[in-house]
Amino acid sequence: MPDDEDSEEEAVPAVPLGDGPAVEGAPLARVAARLTWPQEASRVREKEGNAEIRTPDGAQTLADVLDEVDVSYFDARQTFVAAVEEVVGTGPVPTAEE
């Protein structure tokens, strides 16, 4: 039987999120975590192609980013993340107000 105290702890974020402006799209790590690896690029597109990911240039659909990726097979999550970051870059993500 689950402890009510444990359930309450899990519901509260470990880090306060604050009241700042919204950021469009999902973190790439969250999208990558929803998949199992290894994975073909075509299967990633089928499963998560409509997902919008956060990039330094604003939110982009994963399918659009995968169009620019030269890899057709991702042997590990890290390979996928590296290939996507090579296309979109890394850095600060603009907020909805920017």
**pLDDT value at 89 more than 70:** yes
Strands 73-74 and 60-61: unpaired
Residue with tokens 């105290």: 5
Would you say residue 12 has pLDDT above 80?
Answer: no
Higher-scoring residue by pLDDT: 1, 80: 80
Domain segments of the chain as ranges: 20-88
**Which residue spans within 1-98 are E strands per DSSP?**
39-40, 52-53, 60-61, 73-74
- Does the model's pTM come out above 0.85? no
Q: Kindly report, residue by residue over 27-85, the tens digit of the pLDDT.
A: 999 999 999 999 999 999 999 999 999 999 999 999 999 999 999 999 999 999 999 99
Nearest-angstrom CA–CA distance, 42 and 58: 24
